[in-house]
Amino acid sequence: MNKLLLAFIASVFLLATTSAQAATAVTGFAGSLAAQVMQQGQPLSEREIDPKTYVVYVTKTGKKYHMDGCQYLRKSKIKTTLADARKAYEPCKVCKPPK
């Protein structure tokens, strides 16, 4: 839903740049739409993750890091941060932690 809205807003802005007469009204309308989208709040995306505080888990023997609850964490589970884990480990292909 948000993606559709954003695409619509982008096309409206494109129109506005090619139509000087409609520009004022259209950008005002698009602006209020954009404000509505912002107020709804965006889902957490990878860009918003802070690797220094984002918790992931590694195991004693594995070479991958995991999200909490991953099946590979049954034997050992060592808490660490994404910033540290990505230095020496690969993201698990099963639980798909952020890279």
Q: What is the contact surface with Zn ion in residues (CB under 5 A)? A: 66, 70, 72, 92, 94-95
C-alpha dihedral (78, 80, 83, 84), degrees to nearest 10: -60
Query: Which is closer to Zn ion, CB of 30 or CB of 58?
Result: 58
Query: Which is closer to Zn ion, CB of 22 or CB of 94?
Result: 94
Separation in Å, CA 52 to CA 1, 39, 72, 75: 31, 27, 23, 25
CB of 43 to Zn ion, least distance (A): 21
Residue with the CB atom nearest Zn ion in the bound state:
92
CB of 9 to Zn ion, least distance (A): 37
CB atoms within 10 A of CB 89: 20
